[in-house]
Amino acid sequence: MKTLVMSLFFALVFAQPSLANGLAEVQGIVDRNITIVINYVKDKSIDKQVRNQKIIETVVPFFDFDFMAMVCLEKKHRKRLSKDQKKLFTNLFVKRLQESFLEKLDLYTDEEVVIESAKKVKKRIHVLTYLVSKGDKMDMNFKFKKTKKGWKVYDLEILGVSMVSTYRSQFSGFLKSKSMDDLLAKLSETGSFGVPTGEKQKK
């Protein structure tokens, strides 16, 4: 019993500094990179295609896109994927996810970025960010988890709509009557499986 109590004590003592460091690290990631992204959006001298490429290069390092791709499929569907299908699905999904992110940014042209403090949510860390434009406000909640490569975004809520949950629902519905090859073909289409804008939740 004494050993158990001591183990719990040390776990609590050493967990707090780790959490504090995690909060500071995540806060720094969001502060630094979101500011860079918004500056690109505001800079009208940059060609849009070049701008989008720079934005993607900025956000890719702190997004766990491979993880997001897999959790957007139900376990029973993931098990059916061949190695080649898994690779193709991940590539197509990541491309679509990045396109959706860029589409949302295109809605705002004169933004002020407001970044809230990082907050612990169980073993994860969330950072709520607002893009304010002409009295309108779009909130983006970046959800981070700890990985072997550091803190990475595992989900992004835009106007209260989870990208991961939305895609999982869409894919599950599609696969009730279609095959995985059909899903891969659909994902390759421009504009397929768009994430809801969440307009009703605008503040």
pLDDT on residue 192: 63
> How far is Cα 200 from Cα 74, in angstroms, rounded to an integer?
28
pLDDT in tens, 41-84: 888 899 999 999 999 999 899 999 889 998 999 988 888 888 89
Contact 152, 63 (CB under 8 A): yes
- Shortest CA distance to 104 belongs to which of 146, 59, 145? 59
Residue range(s) defining the domain that contains residue 108: 2-201
The pTM of the full predicted model, rounded to 2 decimals, is 0.78
CB 29, CB 62: distance < 8 Å: yes
CA 167 to chain CA centroid, Å, is 12
Chain mean position to CA 192: 18
Which tokens belong to 110? 């004169």
List, for residues 92-144, the tens digit of each pLDDT value.
Answer: 988 888 888 888 777 766 768 889 999 999 889 999 998 887 777 888 899 99
Tokens describing residue 202: 């605008």
**Residue-level pLDDT at 88:** 93
The answer, yes or no, to whether residue 29 has pLDDT greater than 60, is yes
Q: How many domains does the chain have?
A: 1
**DSSP secondary structure of 86-149:** HHHHHHHHHHHHHHHHHHHHTT-SS-EEEEPPPEEETTEEEEEEEEEETTEEEEEEEEEEEETT
| Whole-number average pLDDT of the chain | 82
151 CB burial (10 A radius; 0-12, 13-18, 19+) = buried
CATH of residue 187: 3.10.450.710
Residues 6+ apart with CB under 8 A from 14: none
